[in-house]
Structure formats: C-alpha cells, structure tokens
Structure 1
Amino acid sequence: MDASIKHRHSETTYTFVTPPADASIEVLNEFYWTNEAEPHVLRRKQILAKHPEVTKLTGYEPKTKWYVCLVVLLQCLVAFYLKETPILSWKFFILSYVIGATANQAIFLAIHELSHNLLFKKPFHNKMFAIFTNIPIGIPYSASFQPYHQLHHKFMGDEYLDADLPTKWESIILSNLLGKVFFATCQIFFYALRPMFITQIKFTYIHLLNIIGQVVFDYAWIQYVGLNSFMYFLLSSFLAGSLHPCAGHFIAEHYVLNENNTARKSEIVDGSNVIPVPPETYSYYGSLNLVTWNVGYHNEHHDFPYIAWTKLPELKRIAPEFYEPLPQVKSWCGVIWWFIFNDVNLLWNRVKRRGKEKHGHKIDKLDQNQA
C-alpha cells in the first residue's frame, strides 16, 4: 500500500511502499534508505556479510496478536471496573498509572510492531488489526503513526522528515530545568502534535477507518459503560507518555545523554563532520522489555526493522561483536531523571542531518524501483 508525505517547507511529495515483513532482504534494505552518516544500513550490511543466517530471523510473529488481544481485554476490564470510581480519587489514579499506563505503552508499541507488518503476513491485515489495537488509547492514532514512523527509519535525523526530532523552538524554549520537566511530563502531546507542524501525510481510507472505528467504540463505551470509565483510557494514554518508567524509552532511544554527549557541538561542513558524531541510537536490555515488546533492543531494531520482537535477542546473540561494544542505557527510570536534572542533557542533544536536497533524487529513484 502506498503512502505519501509532503513537506511543510516545499512542494515536494515523497511516496513509498511498505513491504511485508517476509519480503526478501534486498527489498527490505532498499526500503530503509538513509544517507552515509547514519550507522544502521552500514552495520546491517556488515552483519549480513558475516552472519548471513540472520536473514532467517526476518518475518512476522503470529503469536503476538494473541498477546495484544489480552492487553486490550485487560484495559477494557479495568475500565469497566472503574466505571463507578470518581476520576479524582487515588484508586482511579493508581490503577491508571500502574496498570493503565503500562498496558497502553504496550498498546503503543504493539502498533509500532504492526507498522512494520510484524503481526500478519499481509500489510493490510496489520493495518486493520492496528485499528482494533488502538481501542484503549481513546483517540485515533494507528493510521497516522505508520507513515511518520517509516520516515523516522528511512530518514533518521533528517530535520524535515524525521518527526521524532525536537524542533528548533522546542529546543530553545524547553532546554532548562522547568522546560525539561514539562517536556518529560507531556511527551505524549509532543509526539502527537509535532509531526503535523513538520510534514503533511496524505489522508487515506485507512485514516478514515481508524477515525470511524475509534469514534464508534468511544461513543458506545460512554453510552453503555460511562464517561468515568472512558476517562481511564485517556488518562492511561497520557500517563504512558509521561513520568512513567516505560516512557523512558522515548528519550533513551536516540537522545545523546551524559558521557555520550562529548561531541555535542559537532558541526557539518560541506558534508563532513568536523567532530565525529556520537552514537545516536541506544539499546536497553533490562526487565521492562518484558512489557514493551523488546523495544529496548533499539540498535538491533533499527539495523533490522523487519525482525519481530521475539527474535531481537537472538540477533544480538548471533552478532555480539557488533552490539556489545555499543553504549547502552541501563535504566529507563534513570534516563528520565538524568535528562531532567543533568545540565548537559538538553532537547537539542540529537543527531540531525541537513539533507533534503540529497534525499530528493534518491527518493525519486526509490519510487521508480518500487512502483
């Protein structure tokens, strides 16, 4: 299925085709085009050259859908249980934080797996199941997430195409203690609203189905179960992207923090780095991966986006010489704390690339190959 992206800053429109997870490794490699400075394509080629058996790990994981159904059911049961509980009560908040936020973070990251077609063989089935998975979030999200996330992989660090990057104004205004507290508390709003100010996504019937399906569910739930119960979904979504242990992955994945930040003042001159750019992707191998579909294996995921969560540890086991030397994040809770209270950690501590002119030609070539 085609997806189209249009720059806010130009009339250029980019079109790409999302391949199924069981496509050949050559197709998957071509889909993840990036410029020479981004590390994942090069490392993927090096790993495949040394460990060709890694190709056997690619493909969807059919049992994931059953786990997702259980998480969705859990959220609906807890929401039903709280239907008579006042929203402004400790019981409501604690259940929303401990169960709701953890479950909805798993929902967000299940949609992330679905965006890579890792639950079903056919991309269309992944999109439809993502609409179902979206239910406990409370607002339509899944259809918009996929194209933005594909851009994050294809154009990692591009200041116009990677909506995961903080904008210039975010960095200017929020790079102080209070600003970082606000950013860490309200991350979910930044990730939801920022893309709309950077790129334009073509509205498709998938978006329409996502909206209709979510509105119908929300209306029916409020009518037959109650508004208090529905607010559990919304509060769970907010807390999942706020000061919650699992929310640490948003910052941990690509922010250059603490001792890794020695090259913060790197500059790009004529396409060459005056100071070597620091590592821009970081993995976490702790216990919270158990409730987040191994999203902590983030270097592994960016190297091989079509390897399902269940097989990412096996990828690391097969190629330890590539992953063990990389800097790692030891604690997602610690990341939130260090990000806020360490003066060296600011919103602009991200690797960016000024390359939209370079990207234009390569995308045109990619379109022709995938049409």
Structure 2
Amino acid sequence: MGAEGADCDRIENQATSANVRSLLFYFSLYGGAESLTEGRSPRRTEVPSPTAEDDGVNFTKPPQDPNDFLWLMTEEPHRSRRITIMKKHPEVTKLMGHEPFTKWVVLGVVSLQVAVAYYLRSTSIISPIFLTLAYVIGATANQNLFLAIHEITHNLAFKGIKPNKALAIFANLPIGIPYCSAFKGYHLEHHKYLGEDGIDTDLPTRLELILLNNVFGKVFFATFQIFFYALRPGLVRNQTPTMWHLVNLVVQVIFDVIIVKFMGLRALGYFLMSSFLAGSLHPCAAHFIAEHYLWDGLDQETYSYYGPLNILAYNVGYHNEHHDFPSIAWTRLPALRALAPEFYDTIPSHPSWPMVIVNFICDPEVGIFARAKRKAKNI
C-alpha cells in the first residue's frame, strides 16, 4: 500500500505541476512557456493557397530571439513585388486612382459621431450607457476615421492634393485632437523607408523592447497603444511644421470649443473616449499589431487580413496589397488580390483580427521584439 500511495502522490504532483505550467502560459515573462525550448505555440497565420514552401500548418523557421528585433539586410519587399506584378499584369494600372465614395463615408461617420455626442451630452462619462456607446459606436467610428485619414493621406479621395488635405482635417474633427497633418509625413516615410530604424516611426523603440517585453508589458501596450503611436513619432523623428499643421490645429480647437459651448464637456469627452478606445482593446484596433509584427518565426514583415472587419476599416486588412500599390483606393484592393492571386494567396495572412490581440499577449513567440528593422540609409 505504501508503494501505491507513493505512486498516487507522484501522479497527483505531476498533475499539479501540469496545471501550474498551464497557468504559467498566461503569467510567465515569455507570455507562455518558461523558455522558448519548451515547445512552440500553434501556428497563428494561414496561407490561403498552400505551397510546397509553406503549407500554412507547419513551421518553416525556428522562433525569433526575444531579446532583440530582427535585423534584415534585404530591401523591403513591396517595391520588387510591385514591379513583378506590373510586368505580369499590366492591367493593374486600371485599378489606380481616387475613390469619390470616400468623402460620403467620411461625412456619414462624422455626422454619426456628432449625433451620438449630442445624445450623450447630459450623460455621465462613467455611466454604462456612455461607456457602451463609446466602445461599440464611438471607437468603431473613430477607428474608421483614423483609416479614412490614412486613405486620404495617399490622396485617394480627390484628384487634387488640397481637397484631400481639407477632407482629412474634416475627418479629424470627432477624434478631438489634431493629428492628420502630422500623420501624413510620418506615414509616407513609413511606406518609403519601411523598417528603417530611426525613420519608420511605426517601429517600437529599444526602450519599449526593454520595458514592455513580457506579458504584462504586452497587455499595457495593447491597452494604451494609441498613445505609443501618437507620442513615439515626435520622440523619434521631429517634423518641420507647415501651414497645414497650423490649419489642422486651429480648425480642431475651434470645433472643440463649439462642441463644449453648445453640447458641454461630456460631448467632447465622448470624442476623446472614442479615440482612446479605438486604439485600445478593440477588434478593429488589432490591425495596428497585425500589419507588421512578425509571426510564426517568419521574417515576413507585412501581413494581410481578409475577414469581415475590413468593411469597417477601409479594407486596411489588405495590407500587403496596400503597401505594394499605395495608389490603389480601398474599394479596389480586393480586385487587386483577385487579379494576382499567385502573389497574395501564397503569403501567410491573419485569419482573425481579435485573435491577433489575444495571441500577441499570450504567445511567447511574439512581442515588442517581433519587428523587422534595417539600418537607416542616408536620406
């Protein structure tokens, strides 16, 4: 009986240890296993059209070192793929150009936000109805406006540059804080100098890697990522203000004053809360992480997502397509993918935006370190 009792104790201890290891998946510094040698997480990305090189199920490369970014010597992939696609499918040029429908979507969403702010003008900011509407409607709407400004930054709403800049300032209004003019310069550099350290301000800094490279840091980053994307550019690379920066600032301040005067501080609070939640733990906010973080040990630095949330997000999920052809408007990005499936359906993509946030936090193989960087060239 003594031996049987010892066996029972051993089995119970093993079961307890297994439960502890299971809990450590969520609380260890690596966000999962105690080390990267304990086994790999499930494959997070999928390949719409599997190939011999990548079937979308098996891992093709070992995990990335979590102590540093992935430094690449190769050029960014989008320019070369754009050239290849244009040679094989010269008709792709017919997809380029602005989308007149964009201005009407912007008008509708701005009007919706003003209407909801008016409805909540006498509602406590901490009340359930205020917080619910700010998350469900406000965050979704302001994320849509973030991406409208992204679309307009590429001059894809009007033919002329000035009408696009004016529309971006209008789309900025319910966001509450002027940012669209500064965003334009930083974002165009993100396209031209993708992954270049000190120039592409979409990249996390070394300080972020040191402070946030654990599961609690990832929760903090995912919750407050709107502040990282707002503050990091000014800390990494200053811009020279232009007249449009001033116009953006003045128009926004006038609008905010009018809102406070006629609707009250709570209406302005609704706009600001909507903007915060739009860049926090919101399904559509997952695109910030999904677009350029590295997954499954791959050195692929841009990922697409083809799911239904693209309807709310100007098809920004078609992100490989967008970086390949920034001159193609959001309504025609699905047509680009359909035109060249041999290029896009063989690239790993994300099956779900909401799961990107969950996996980013819990998966030991992805974190602040999971970005590709290049040494900056002289510009």
TM range (shorter): 0.7 to 0.9
Which of 246, 253, 270 aligns to 1:232? It is 270
1:328 matches 2:349: yes
- Distance in 2, matches of 1:190 and 1:98, equals 23
Identify the match of residue 161 of structure 2 among 119, 123, 136.
123
Equivalent positions of 1:132-281 (< 5 A) are 132-257=170-295, 259=296, 261-262=297-298, 278-281=299-302
What is aligned with 1:64? 102
SS in 2 for 1:96: helix
Q: Which structure would you say has the larger Rg?
A: 2
* Matching residue of 2:333: 312
Residue-by-residue CA offset, 1:299-342 (whole Å, 9 max, x unaligned):
00000001000000000000000000000001110000000011
* Structure 2 residue aligned with 1:17: none
Q: CA deviation at 1:355?
A: 2.8
Equivalent residue of 2:372, what SS?
A: coil
> Which of 113, 132, 144 is residue 151 of structure 2 equivalent to?
113
Counterpart residue type for residue 367 of structure 2: L
Q: Whose strand proportion is higher, 1 or 2?
A: 1
**Which aligned runs of 4 or more in structure 1 are off by greater than 4 angstroms?**
none
**Higher RCO (Cα < 8 Å, 6 or more apart):** 2
Secondary structure in structure 1 of the residue aligned to 2:155: coil
Which residue number in structure 2 is paired with residue 11 of structure 1? none
**2:353 and 2:74 mapped to 1: Cα distance?**
30
Q: Which of 90, 98, 120 is the aligned partner of 2:128?
A: 90
Question: For residues 275 and 340 of structure 2, what CA distance do their matches in structure 1 show?
Answer: 36
- For the Cα contact (< 8 Å) 2:360–2:367, is it kept in 1? yes
User: Which residue of structure 2 lines up, in the alignment, with residue 367 of structure 1?
Assistant: none
**Residue identity matched to 1:191:** Y
Whole-angstrom distance in 2 between the partners of 1:203 and 1:36: 33
Aligned to 1:283: 304
CA contact (8 A) 1:152 1:163 kept: yes
Alignment partner, residue 273 of structure 1: none
CA contact (8 A) 1:160 1:356 kept: no
C-alpha contact 2:199 2:376 (8 A) present in aligned 1: no
Alpha-carbon distance in 1 for matches of 2:337, 2:138:
31
Instruction: Give the structure 1 partner of residue 140 of structure 2.
Output: 102
**1:338 corresponds to which residue?**
359
Q: TM-score, normalised by structure 2?
A: 0.80
In the TM superposition, what whole-angstrom CA distance separates every residue of 1:212-233 from its partner, at most 9, and x where no partner exists?
0000000011011100111000
Give per-residue Cα distances to partners, 1:118-144, cap 9 Å, x unaligned. 000011110111111100000101100
2 CA distance for matches of 1:324 and 1:88? 45
Amino acid of the structure 2 residue aligned with 1:78: V
Q: For the residues of structure 2 that align with 1:36 and 1:51, how far apart are their CA atoms?
A: 25
SS at match of 1:325: coil
Following the alignment from structure 1 to structure 2, what is the Cα–Cα distance between the partners of residues 74 and 346?
36
Which secondary structure does the structure 2 equivalent of 1:346 belong to?
coil
| Structure 1 counterpart SS, 2:123 | coil
Shift of 1:356: 2.3
Offset at 1:346? 1.3
Q: State the Cα distance separating 1:63 from its structure 2 match.
A: 1.2
Distance in 2, Cα, partners of 1:75 & 1:122: 27
Tell me the TM-score normalized by structure 1: 0.82
Q: Percent identity?
A: 57
Residue deviations 1:81-130, cap 9 Å, x none? 00111001110000000000000000000000010000000111101111
Q: Counterpart in 1 of 2:28?
A: none
Structure 1 vs Structure 2 CA RMSD: 0.9
The corresponding residue for 1:26 is none
Partner of 1:349: 370
Structure 2 contact 318–334 (Cα < 8 Å) conserved: yes
Offset of residue 344 of structure 1:
1.4
